[in-house]
A and B are shown apart, each in its own frame.
Chain A
Amino acid sequence: DAKTTQPPSMDCAEGRAANLPCNHSTISGNEYVYWYRQIHSQGPQYIIHGLKNNETNEMASLIITEDRKSSTLILPHATLRDTAVYYCIVRKWPWNTPLVFGKGTRLSVIA
């Protein structure tokens, strides 16, 4: 699976949009971009995934660049409960291998 690069930490004001970048410049055609988050001392939680089109669900939006070499996870109105470590993961189809986690981005939402 392709490697990902994320900033180690970011801050965001409560109520503002949090935009978390991820670089995956070596991504191949059958690799999907996944996002998980981990609140302190809990298990990771699935957020969203996509292949090449932008995706949106009740938690977040995922914007993937046209060349697929980078993506951005958007939390439209960040709250204090969104403070967590966010992991960007590239996963090859077929999904018969476990997720591989990097160090992620620690997002701090500030009141």
Chain B
Amino acid sequence: DGGITQSPKYLFRKEGQNVTLSCEQNLNHDAMYWYRQDPGQGLRLIYYSQIVNDFQKGDIAEGYSVSREKKESFPLTVTSAQKNPTAFYLCASCKGPYTDTQYFGPGTRLTVL
């Protein structure tokens, strides 16, 4: 069954702790993306990667870090420097940087207590 997997669906952490969100895809897509969504708002881009071992900051990268060591995986770490980390996090991928369609995972809802 092909697709994008994000786990877990719900995640709770204490303030001051780093947390890593998982994103895996078996679609053989080159490009992967992380977005953040706050209640009632659209999606905002955190980081994206067009090829393995390369990534670029999006509009709201401060307080986040990523790695892209494997084509199928693009984990996002929410660090303690992120002032307001509670949000819905969405991962997406597409076949390549010149491909028209981005496919999204189901999302992880992070709550920092």
A contacts, CB < 8 Å to B:
32, 34, 41-46, 49, 87, 94-96, 98-104
Residues of A within 8 A of B92 (CB): 43-44, 98-99
Is the beta-carbon distance between A102 and B42 smaller than 8 angstroms? yes
Chain A residue nearest to B48 (CB atoms) is A98
B contacts, CB < 8 Å to A:
4, 33, 35, 40-45, 48, 50, 58, 88, 90, 92, 97-107, 109
B95 to chain A minimum Cβ distance, whole angstroms, is 11
**Overall SS of chain A's interface:** loop
Chain A residue nearest to B59 (CB atoms) is A100
A103-B42 contact, Cβ under 8 Å, with A46-B101, A95-B97, A95-B100: yes
Is the beta-carbon distance between B97 and A96 smaller than 8 angstroms? yes
A79 to chain B minimum Cβ distance, whole angstroms, is 21
Is the beta-carbon distance between A101 and B88 smaller than 8 angstroms? no
B27 to chain A minimum Cβ distance, whole angstroms, is 13
Is the beta-carbon distance between A98 and B88 smaller than 8 angstroms? no
Residues of A within 8 A of B43 (CB): 44, 99, 101
A103-B107 contact, Cβ under 8 Å, with A41-B88, A46-B102: no
Q: Which of B58, B100, B101, B104 contacts A43 (CB 8 A)?
A: B104
Chain A residue nearest to B103 (CB atoms) is A46
Residues of A within 8 A of B98 (CB): 94-96
Chain B residue nearest to A44 (CB atoms) is B104
Residues of A within 8 A of B41 (CB): 103
Residues of B within 8 A of A99 (CB): 43, 92, 102
- Complex-state Cα separation, A49 to B94, whole angstroms: 15
- Complex-state Cα separation, A91 to B97, whole angstroms: 13
Is the beta-carbon distance between B102 and A41 smaller than 8 angstroms? no
